[in-house]
Chains A and B, each alone.
Chain A
Amino acid sequence: MVRAYTSRICGADIASIRAIPAEIGGGFGGKTIIYLEPVAYLLSKKSGRPVKIVMSREEVFRATGPTSGAVIEVKLGAKKDGHITAVEAVLKYQSGAFPGSPVNQGCMCGLAVYDLPNAVVTGYDVLCHRPKVAAYRAPGAPIASFAIESCVDELARELGIDALAMREINGARDGGKAVHGPTWVNIGYQKTIEAANASEHLKTPLGPNQGRGIASGYWHNAGGESSAACHINEDGTVTVTEGHPDIGGSRASMALMVAEVLGVPYEQVRPVVGDTTSIGFSASTGGSRVTFAGGMAVTQAAEKVVGELKKRAAVIWDISAEAVEWRDGRAYPAGANAGSFEPLSLAEIAGKAARTGGPISAEVQINAQGQGPGFTTHICDVEVDRETGAVKILRYTAIQDVGRAIHPSYVEGQMQGGVAQGVGWALNEEYVYDKDGRLENPGFLDYRVPVASDMPMIDTILVEVPNPRHPFGARGCGEVPIVPPMAAVANAIADATGIRLRDLPMSPPKLRAALDAEQPPRLAAE
């Protein structure tokens, strides 16, 4: 993407551009577009010297684009028993000076957690005098989810039905059809609700000024083009090259999958992120697609290598390749008829590679299909300081169908990171503009992301409904955790105070003003 866009803008051959990915950081959508690359390219061409351009934090804030601001109206109809009969939703997303807000994704994802007999959803991409918007983790979905999950919560309270029961009654299930088209197969949404109901968190009592909120979320996840290579080194160690920058721990997942296919210890596999000249084309690193699509590519590359290893063992033993079996990192004769040979380890075969046909490696290019949708349910407890309007997150549990968790602690990290980012969005993060439309807070002092002490330990429950279209059952897991937090926090505040906040962020001044409007404070009343 970086290479293609730069090539297009600069009128340069793709082959003349080499994109070298940087290490972890700046993900979440910020790198799914180019910024200064063409400028550096042209300056370098003019000057004949290497050119490095680094954006300052302030420039990143001012120039790279936030997600959309939005206005959403939702109308829900339901029977007394809780069955939602109809939804009407109008979503208006800001796009800045050019079209291209993620309102389409909002329209699709916002209602996807429900099985709805009737729905009308209209999205508007609204041009405005604001910075152009950019992709931001699950683009468009959290915004729609805040509106819809808040509204479902209000409806549940009105009907006197428990928030999880409401989702049990109306939630998406296998065989159901989403408003935006797909018929669900092998989805784990209801299992996230079961796990929420069974959680220790739900049994914990709440104190005064405390409240509990529930919200669910959906993200499609993506497949697409990926390349990978698997090389067996002369000493039997393995190098895996992928085309995706590691923005969330994907190296480790790639190594685990390859180790599993080859039957060797994880430590024997060294994953490497290639640049655009060292590996075939891989499309954008985004859409929660890397462990799914990249993982499929490395698995297939490793499988090809296993086929080659069997052939090499067959050469050494002078039998047919079909008569060789690969298990636990060794070649075995497939049965008594194949002959009697001592098993050959990966290292032994690698050491003899020069005499059996040369280097052993395989590269695979795929256009991965069959990504599994991601569903999640979050439980959030808050405590409200009624005098300052400050909201403290007391406890948070994220329950997510992650497919098969290839590297469970990295999956947990994705879930916890999504929650922390969503809580920031819910409570304090905002672009503050002055009356002339200039951004007033282009830095992390006043663009208030949560600090570590703002967050409790975020509990995670991994529900594993394997994706049958992936060799190890992986689904994307990195984006859906940012979808429910805003509604989960809003629903918890409503539970604690009876006040429904509909405007983000739900910052202390706004909550205090809402509390005062509800019930003027005794001390301020004199």
Chain B
Amino acid sequence: MPRVSYTAPTSIDDAVKALAASAGVAKALSGGTDLLVQLKSGRVRPEVIVDTKRIPGLIGIREEGDKFVIGAATPGIMISADERLTRAYPGIVEGVDLIGSTQIQGRCSIAGNLCNASPAADSVPPVIAARATAVVVGPNGRREVPVENIVTGPGQTSLQKGEFVVEFRIPKPLPRQSDAYLRFIPRTEMDIAVVGCAVNVVLDAGGTCTEARVVLGAVAPTQVIVEEAAQALIGHKLDDDTLKRLDSAARAACRPISDKRGTIEYRIKVAGVLARRAAAIAFDRAASRA
């Protein structure tokens, strides 16, 4: 059995050094709810595991001006227990809350869910829909990138050698802005999304949509921002015609595969359904935040 070294540095610099110094695969660990399973199954064989949880700021939620800042290793349960986030972005909380089971919630993090780079990750579409950025640190310093730029394909990210995500920065919502995330699974819990959809909207005083983002999960190699779906909403109230165009745009954006969890045909149909349903919830929430 190959040796795996484990380190739990207490500063970002030490973590970067440990990750960069490894000649083989180096893995950043937050909750470990994916990594430990992959280690056990032999899917990954890292040379070094760098636990990020002892780095100050990596766990916790704070406000900085017009932003919420969520530490990369913050466990799901802290996010769903945070009243500010629950009020501001119920859709993000919904997505996070769908990762695993109650036990997993004590450990799983948005960064882990993102960097595991599964197209079906539940917390990722609503975070992208909220126009969040990820702060990435590495041997070449610090960069802030839109969250949608992190995942490049199944199991693949744009993170370079020695880099890891330290926090997410999410703009605080406007007065009539809200979101929703829905996923479809064949049973009620403990499953992987067949399709996921996040909708984030801003309404004007009259209830007309002024800004929108629609993000699909599990229908392509990465999460998909559906620009046409956003355009279908912007300038409209949620009438039948708008819903119809939203449904079509969502379906048109799907590039799914058929696998044991769903067929191409079915995933496309359900993407349209979820887009409509998530939009209805997001519009309702945005209107009631006024």
The residues of A with any CB-CB pair to B shorter than 8 Å are: 387-390, 427-428, 432, 440-441, 445-446, 448, 450-451, 453-454, 507-509, 512-513, 516, 521, 523-524, 526
Neighbouring A residues of B191 by C-beta, 8 Å: 445, 448
Instruction: Quote the shortest CB–CB distance from B222 to chain A (angstroms).
Output: 22
Neighbouring B residues of A450 by C-beta, 8 Å: 187
Q: Are B260 and A441 in contact (CB under 8 A)?
A: yes
- Give which listed residue, B188, B244, B276, contacts A451 with CB less than 8 A: B188
Neighbouring A residues of B38 by C-beta, 8 Å: none
Neighbouring A residues of B244 by C-beta, 8 Å: 523, 526
Q: Are A451 and B189 in contact (CB under 8 A)?
A: yes
Q: Are B266 and A451 in contact (CB under 8 A)?
A: no
Q: Are A509 and B266 in contact (CB under 8 A)?
A: yes
- B residues 128-161 near A (Cβ < 8 Å) are none
Q: Are B266 and A453 in contact (CB under 8 A)?
A: no
With A526-B244, A526-B248 known to touch, is A508 a contact of B189 (CB < 8 Å)?
A: no
Neighbouring A residues of B263 by C-beta, 8 Å: 509
Q: Are A427 and B186 in contact (CB under 8 A)?
A: yes
B262 CB–A CB distance under 8 Å: yes
Neighbouring B residues of A513 by C-beta, 8 Å: 265-266
Complex Cα–Cα for A440 and B257 (A): 15
Complex Cα–Cα for A446 and B185 (A): 11
With A509-B262, A509-B263 known to touch, is A451 a contact of B270 (CB < 8 Å)?
A: no
Given A451-B189, A507-B186, 7 other A-B residues pairs in contact with their CB atoms under 8 A: A387-B273, A445-B192, A448-B187, A454-B187, A516-B269, A523-B244, A524-B251
Complex Cα–Cα for A128 and B261 (A): 25
Complex Cα–Cα for A309 and B273 (A): 74
Q: Are A454 and B188 in contact (CB under 8 A)?
A: yes
- Give which listed residue, B186, B188, B269, contacts A524 with CB less than 8 A: B269
Neighbouring A residues of B192 by C-beta, 8 Å: 445-446
- Give which listed residue, B188, B248, B266, contacts A512 with CB less than 8 A: B266
With A507-B186, A526-B244 known to touch, is A446 a contact of B260 (CB < 8 Å)?
A: yes
Q: Are B266 and A432 in contact (CB under 8 A)?
A: no
Instruction: Quote the shortest CB–CB distance from A380 to chain B (angstroms).
Output: 17
**In the complex, the 3 A-B pairs of residues with the closest C-beta atoms, listed nearest first:** A509-B266, A453-B188, A387-B273
Complex Cα–Cα for A521 and B261 (A): 23
Neighbouring A residues of B95 by C-beta, 8 Å: none
Neighbouring A residues of B186 by C-beta, 8 Å: 390, 427-428, 448, 507-508
B126 CB–A CB distance under 8 Å: no
Q: Are A428 and B187 in contact (CB under 8 A)?
A: yes
Residue of B nearest to A521 (CB): B269
For B254-290 the 0/1 string (1 means CB < 8 A from A) is 0000011111011001101100100000000000000
- B residues 188-204 near A (Cβ < 8 Å) are 188-192
Residue of B nearest to A391 (CB): B186
Neighbouring B residues of A512 by C-beta, 8 Å: 266, 269-270
26 examples of A-B residue contacts, CB within 8 angstroms: A387-B270, A387-B273, A388-B270, A388-B273, A390-B186, A427-B186, A432-B260, A440-B259, A440-B260, A445-B190, A446-B261, A448-B186, A451-B190, A453-B187, A453-B189, A454-B188, A508-B184, A509-B262, A509-B263, A509-B266, A512-B266, A512-B269, A523-B243, A523-B247, A524-B269, A526-B244
- Give which listed residue, A441, A448, A508, A523, contacts B272 with CB less than 8 A: A523
Neighbouring B residues of A440 by C-beta, 8 Å: 259-260
Residue of B nearest to A446 (CB): B260
Complex Cα–Cα for A508 and B195 (A): 13
Neighbouring B residues of A388 by C-beta, 8 Å: 184, 270, 273
Neighbouring A residues of B276 by C-beta, 8 Å: 523
Complex Cα–Cα for A523 and B191 (A): 28
Instruction: Quote the shortest CB–CB distance from A369 to chain B (angstroms).
Output: 43
Residue of B nearest to A434 (CB): B260
Complex Cα–Cα for A143 and B247 (A): 39
Neighbouring A residues of B187 by C-beta, 8 Å: 428, 448, 450-451, 453-454
Complex Cα–Cα for A193 and B190 (A): 37
For B173-187 the 0/1 string (1 means CB < 8 A from A) is 000000000001011
Instruction: Quote the shortest CB–CB distance from A10 to chain B (angstroms).
Output: 33
Complex Cα–Cα for A440 and B258 (A): 13
Complex Cα–Cα for A445 and B189 (A): 11
Instruction: Quote the shortest CB–CB distance from A526 to chain B (angstroms).
Output: 7
Neighbouring A residues of B272 by C-beta, 8 Å: 523-524
Q: Are A508 and B247 in contact (CB under 8 A)?
A: no
Residue of B nearest to A516 (CB): B269
Complex Cα–Cα for A428 and B185 (A): 11
Complex Cα–Cα for A254 and B186 (A): 40
Complex Cα–Cα for A445 and B191 (A): 6
Complex Cα–Cα for A454 and B43 (A): 31
Complex Cα–Cα for A295 and B189 (A): 40
For B45-66 the 0/1 string (1 means CB < 8 A from A) is 0000000000000000000000
Complex Cα–Cα for A451 and B248 (A): 33
Neighbouring B residues of A526 by C-beta, 8 Å: 244, 248
Complex Cα–Cα for A512 and B195 (A): 15
Residue of A nearest to B248 (CB): A526
Instruction: Quote the shortest CB–CB distance from B190 to chain A (angstroms).
Output: 5
Instruction: Quote the shortest CB–CB distance from B53 to chain A (angstroms).
Output: 26
Complex Cα–Cα for A526 and B247 (A): 11
Complex Cα–Cα for A454 and B186 (A): 10
Residue of A nearest to B243 (CB): A523
Instruction: Quote the shortest CB–CB distance from A505 to chain B (angstroms).
Output: 9
For B74-114 the 0/1 string (1 means CB < 8 A from A) is 00000000000000000000000000000000000000000
Neighbouring B residues of A446 by C-beta, 8 Å: 192, 260-261
Neighbouring A residues of B273 by C-beta, 8 Å: 387-388
Instruction: Quote the shortest CB–CB distance from B36 to chain A (angstroms).
Output: 15
Instruction: Quote the shortest CB–CB distance from B249 to chain A (angstroms).
Output: 12
Complex Cα–Cα for A451 and B273 (A): 24
Instruction: Quote the shortest CB–CB distance from A388 to chain B (angstroms).
Output: 6
Complex Cα–Cα for A390 and B276 (A): 17
Among A387, A432, A450, A453, find the residue whose CB has the most chain B CB atoms closer than 10 A. A387
Complex Cα–Cα for A451 and B266 (A): 23
